Structure 1
Amino acid sequence: MTPGNRITTMALINHTRLQAVLSMSQQHQPQLIRMISTLLADAEKNISQIQSYAKAQQRQELQQTLHKIRGGYATLGAEDLAHASKTLELSLEQQLPLSETDLAEFISIYRQSCVVLQQEITKLQADIGSGQTELDIIQLYYLLRQHNMQACDLVQNNQEQLKQLLTKAVADNFSQHVFALNFSAAAAILQPFLPPEQRSTNT
């Protein structure tokens, strides 16, 4: 059964879930919206990667890209996209062939989901301030340990500070884990950079 046949009864965006995420922390809402905007901005790059991996039969890389997309968008209530991605991932795991139609339908759902999400965050942007949040590495570490979505806000809003603190290569790897919601892995990367007294109590 193709992804297109399996998702017809699902909602493109679960607005209840999306609103729950957006209202989780009013003070960090500007950063959260910027994080979502970054996800949306990366969509076409991800689509190009998917098409390239599919053409080259790079199934593992394709599966990893789909998994990354699903992780970010499922949190925001993109149920159609998450389900379609999971369907393709399972097909890849089971070594089943993927048709061009399956991929084209997934890409269509991906783009539609981005349009709806952009509409949702645009509605909020007129009502939020432009406040910035300073990076508190200890707070960030504990948010990661608690699997708290506010960690995404802090990371998105403090990329330059993270690169200065962790080095660019480590910061990029760290951010990838955070935005994929691999909070435990991200916390493990951050732990050696904590102040000594904090590091010793969390080993």
Structure 2
Amino acid sequence: MLTSEIAVMERLTYEGRSIVQARSGRRQAWGLLAWEGQQEAWNVLPGGRDVGDVLRSGDLDSLPSCWIKIWNTGAYGDMMWDGAMMFSFVSDRFVKALQDAGFVTGYQLLPLEVRPKKGDGFSGYSLLLPDNRDPDVPIRSFPYVNRATSSLDLAEEVLSALAGAGVDALEVEDASLRAAALIAAAEDDPEHG
């Protein structure tokens, strides 16, 4: 991690928060964001822009028509593992749980078609992009608050809403412990600083 990212993590509060990501086992479906004309450099959009830069800017409307390309077949949970570690793919049930609990701001959604290796494509998933400009929001990216990731940093009330709605196939860990471990590892790294 970069020194600037560690400095941001040290200023944030992680108490009462959880890190949530999709189950990553081989029996789970894994996806990647895809678009027409995608090259071997999977992150380069038509026109040469980097998809990470577009996500960081929050300008989802500037993306070409996209979908989730399945590259590891398996069960579909309420979050889908992203092979690029940049995207939070969430199910309609996940989104509905957020919205029913009153969490309707602080993030953008981009509905996406899921295209499996075999069979027809289907709807029911979106790219969830937290608005990481305000560190005190209930839904943030983790560990990088300045860029999109496949892990979400959720306030306790958000996690409770998801659990209450039956959202499943998630890996959940204590955010304060995970943040402390990342900060300690960076401080022990001779390259850090």
TM-score range, shorter chain: under 0.3
Q: Which has the higher contact order (CA 8 A, sep 6+)?
A: 2
Higher strand share: 2
TM-score (norm 2): 0.24
Bigger proportion of residues as helix? 1
